[in-house]
Amino acid sequence: MNKVLVYLLFFLFLNTSCAQEEKKSLESQSNSLVKNYYFKGLDFLSKNNFDEAFKSISSGLEASKKTNQKDLMAFGYLHLGGYFYQKKNYQIAIENLKKSLAIFIYLKNEKETYNCYFKLGRSYYRISEFDASLVNHFKALEIAERINNEKEIAENLGRIGEVYLLTPDLRKAQINFKKALKIYERLGDEQGIVGCFTNLGASYQKQGGPNKKELIIKAIDYFKQGLVRAKKANLQRNESIFLGNIGSSYRSLDKYDESLEFLFRALKIKVKLKNYGSAAHSCNDISETYSAMNNLVKAKEFALKAIEYSKGFNIHQERFGYYLLSKIEYKTGNFKSSHGHLKRYHQIHDSLFSLQKMAKINDLQIQYETEKKNLTIEAQESNIALLDSKNSIKNQWLLFGGLGLLSIFAFITLQKSKNTAKKEKLLQEKFSQDLLISQEEERTRIARELHDSVGQQLTLIKRKSQNIEQQEITKMTNKALEEVRSISRNLYPALLKQLGLKESIEQLINEYDEQTELFFSMDIDLIDEYFTENTSLNFYRLVQECLTNIVKHAKAKSVTVNIKKEDKSIITLISDNGKGFDVDKNKKKNSLGLKTIFERIKIMNGNLSINSKINNGTNFIFSIPIKNES
């Protein structure tokens, strides 16, 4: 009996050992299979064979899920993130990288956790989600500093600087680039040094301007230092970029011959390298320089070349090429062609940003609805408190009847006072609205007189001065004409009738974008047919006043304008990330800017909601009924 028991136990032990060995063997085979899938997928990806790359990586990920191998699953999501990044589908890249990050954090794999944070930072940068990009790069930097990996520290400092360069917080950008430069110099990393010189030059170039030429000179100095290093290291692509940046900087200093010399050298290298997207950039720069020299024939030639080079390579430069053509044709008096090029510019612009903006609008709509619900709950709580208060008052009336009669008398007197005040307020509102209407009529009259009288007289003087070859008078007359036209446009937006409401608002935003350092994004439906002429003018003025307030007071870095048709209303959101303000406090101060905005809303029978907090930006949300005005 004991022998049978011993044999039985031995048999069970043998079976268990065999099963464990078989399980280990299967896991080993599965590991090899998954790794082989990933290896092939990455090889296909390096050769831009995207279809085969996706199949191999996805097959490896599915195999790892079946055996629940968490480390291999994490690598699968990481590789898919890389695949979608190369395909420029950054949102899906972010989703996969987040899944990979969660698993690597769970497995305490610090090296791959770093890789995930770094790649997430780059992906968010690509979709202009700059806050999220900074968060991930700072987390990657923290890991790199903890393990004292200088190369990775420098890489993250450079990427953080690039984000600040676009936001733009140029001082912080320069601090990070200089820190990265010191590390790259210590490591002898020429590619890293050249990149830092590029970015430092770009930061000072952005800071410079007509009144800050010393910063442009400093930018040129950085670009020239980088150019010497790029030539020495035979980095032709970087060499062409430095040449182009030096050329555009000289244009800012009005040194047009030097500008063209460097820009043509840059263009020659870029075409030789078949870097056509960058070649388009140089052509647009050359066009701008010729335009500044008033050589409009050459300016047009290179704007057209920019569009030709950019087709299929650089949609941003294609868009800018059409914008330059529009300006050139306008200067030559070919207004129809100018309008056509401007229309093409907006079509490309809309196609670039529509998806991204729709996602932002949805987020803001959710935020708006949530805040509305919270306000409703607060109102209900307030009503409950009010009912309790009324019950208490009734009990007091029962106890103090005489006092109750006096209270009723006082209430009636107070109500009469309120009614009188309400009537006065309505009269004041009507007066304000009539004043706004009269103001618009007077603006239109003055604008028409400026155009028909002063404008024509100046045009006549210009022609006479040209006939007698008086160049100085011609230049002065040109300048005066431009100022008169600018004043006329500000008094009454004539393009509102020519282009329509949508394109007029877009042009207004583009003008603010050019004249300020703010980053503007917009998504505007075609709303021209939904408003009468008077409402269109009031709507345009409303948007203009909101944007003027932001530019003057908000100290913002970016502004979003979304105008959408929903049912029988036009819903508009204008938001900024500026310093914000106390809405109630400004209402009590009777702020002229806010008062004008509210009056225009009332004229159009609309509704306005302002959401603003100190240091947390401002949202203007207004709803205007279609074809409805008082």
Give the rounded distance of the alpha carbon of 455 from its chain centre: 38
**What's the per-residue H, E or C state across 216-265?**
HHHHHHHHHHHHHHHHHCCCHHHHHHHHHHHHHHHHHCCCHHHHHHHHHH
Sequence-distant (≥ 6) Cβ neighbours of residue 294 within 8 angstroms: none
Question: Helix, strand, or coil here: 576?
Answer: strand
pLDDT tens, position by position, 109-125: 999 999 999 999 999 99
Question: Helix, strand, or coil here: 528?
Answer: helix
Long-range CB contacts for residues 266-274, cutoff 8 Å, separation at least 24:
266/240, 266/241, 269/236, 269/239, 269/240, 269/243, 270/240, 270/244, 272/236, 273/236, 273/237, 273/240
CATH topology of domain 500-630: Heat Shock Protein 90 (3.30.565)
Per-residue DSSP letters for 352-411?
HHHHHHHHHHHHHHHHHHHHHHHHHHHHHHHHHHHHHHHHHHHHHHHH-HHHHHHHHHHH
Predicted confidence at residue 493, as pLDDT, reads: 64
Enumerate the β-bridge partners of residue 621.
Answer: 573, 609
Task: For residues 96 and 80, give the distance between their C-alpha atoms in angstroms, rounded to a whole number.
Answer: 6
CB 89 within 8 A of CB 126: no
The type of residue at 551 is V
Domain boundary assignment for the chain = 500-630
Helix (H) or strand (E) holding 623: strand 618-625
pLDDT tens, position by position, 284-341: 999 999 999 999 999 999 999 999 998 888 888 888 899 999 889 888 888 888 888 8
The type of residue at 163 is V
Within a 10 A sphere around the Cβ of 548, how many other Cβ atoms? 12
Predicted confidence at residue 366, as pLDDT, reads: 38
Predicted confidence at residue 603, as pLDDT, reads: 83
Task: For residues 330 and 570, give the distance between their C-alpha atoms in angstroms, rounded to a whole number.
Answer: 32
Task: For residues 406 and 419, give the distance between their C-alpha atoms in angstroms, rounded to a whole number.
Answer: 20
In angstroms, the Cα distances linking 140 to 66, 196, 272 are 31, 19, 37
pLDDT tens, position by position, 86-99: 988 999 999 999 99
Q: ∠454-460-466 over CA atoms, to 5°?
A: 135
- Is the four-CA dihedral 551, 556, 561, 562 of positive or negative sign? negative
Predicted confidence at residue 392, as pLDDT, reads: 54
Closest CA to 236 of 206, 191, 301, 178: 191
Predicted confidence at residue 445, as pLDDT, reads: 58
Predicted confidence at residue 568, as pLDDT, reads: 85
Predicted confidence at residue 90, as pLDDT, reads: 92
Predicted confidence at residue 443, as pLDDT, reads: 57
Task: For residues 181 and 283, give the distance between their C-alpha atoms in angstroms, rounded to a whole number.
Answer: 30
Relative orientation angle of helices 90-106 and 110-126, to the nearest 10 degrees:
160
* pTM check: above 0.85: no
CB 31 within 8 A of CB 72: yes
Within a 10 A sphere around the Cβ of 301, how many other Cβ atoms? 16
Per-residue DSSP letters for 137-172?
HHHHHHHHHHTT-HHHHHHHHHHHHHHHHHTT-HHH
Predicted confidence at residue 441, as pLDDT, reads: 58
Task: State residue 604 phi and psi, 5-degree precision.
Answer: -95, 10
Task: For residues 579 and 491, give the distance between their C-alpha atoms in angstroms, rounded to a whole number.
Answer: 29
CA atoms within 13 A on the CB side of 419: 6
- Which two structure tokens, joined as six digits, stand for 588? 């009590």
CB 192 within 8 A of CB 210: no
Predicted confidence at residue 379, as pLDDT, reads: 45
- Which two structure tokens, joined as six digits, stand for 53? 């790359």
Long-range CB contacts for residues 340-346, cutoff 8 Å, separation at least 24:
342/503, 342/507, 343/503, 345/319, 345/320, 346/503, 346/506
Closest CA to 303 of 282, 277, 276: 282
Sequence-distant (≥ 6) Cβ neighbours of residue 625 within 8 angstroms: 568, 569, 604, 605, 606
List of the chain residues with pLDDT < 50: 1, 4-7, 10-19, 22-23, 25-26, 355-388, 451, 629-630
Predicted confidence at residue 155, as pLDDT, reads: 93
